[in-house]
Amino acid sequence: MNFPLDVRFKLLAIASQIAVRDSTGQVRFYVKQKAFKLKEAVTVYADEAQTRPICRIGADRIIDFSAQYTIEDMSGAKLGVVKRQGMRSLWRSRYDISREGRPVFLIQEANPWVAVFDGIFGEIPILGLLSGYVFHPAYKVTRADSATEAFRVTKQPAMFEGKFTIEALDTPGGDDEQLALMGILMMLLLERAKG
């Protein structure tokens, strides 16, 4: 995969839609979340026309701080799990990505103060419309076994859409890379209120 990846999603859409393009401009992933679902459930496609599904990500419960999201390929084989760390995530968002019960990656906000200020600024009438240009939360994706930073996800300036960049710092390749990217997409869907 050609990094960095450009991730864009529309803020004003009823159902969240994410398009992920590589550095050559080719669509690598496309996600359209179903609107008004009680349980989070998304299908990740390889194209914007939504004709080539890659995998499904579904929650194990309706609403919970510590929900677990199972990533499955289209045949139903379990690829891994993304779990939000409930109470720990109130101050600093934190997600664990695991495979077969073994932690593989950890996603964590780089600086929780940036997210706090982004949220406060976003609530100020009229000025809040410009919050997409002021504060830029970032997330570190580290390997669970070595704490080596594998990816960095950074919010970019944008007005009417959420825009993020995914940089590969230590490319894991293969199944680990796909698992990390699916975990990052799910995290962005859950954290979309921050930008």
3-state secondary structure string across the chain: CCCCEEEEEECCCCCCEEEEECCCCCEEEEEECCCCCCCCEEEEECCCCCCCEEEEEEECCCCCCCCEEEEEECCCCEEEEEEECCHHHHCCCEEEEEECCEEEEEEEECCHHHHHHHHHHHCCCCHHHHHHHCCCCEEEEEECCCCCEEEEEEECCCCCEEEEEEEECCCCCHHHHHHHHHHHHHHHHHCHHHC
pLDDT at 85 over 50: yes
pLDDT of 173 reads: 73
- For residue 96, what pLDDT is reported? 95
Question: Which residue would you say has higher pLDDT here, 95 or 162?
Answer: 95
Q: What is the pLDDT of residues 162-192, one digit of tens each?
A: 889 999 998 767 889 999 999 999 999 888 6
Predicted pLDDT at 44: 95
pLDDT tens digits, one per residue of 13-25 = 667 789 999 999 9
Looking at residues 62-67, what average pLDDT do you find? 68
Q: Is the pLDDT of residue 154 over 50?
A: yes
Domain spanning 5-194, CATH class: mainly beta
The pTM of this model reads: 0.86
| pLDDT in the model for residue 37 | 60
Q: Higher pLDDT residue, 178 or 62?
A: 178
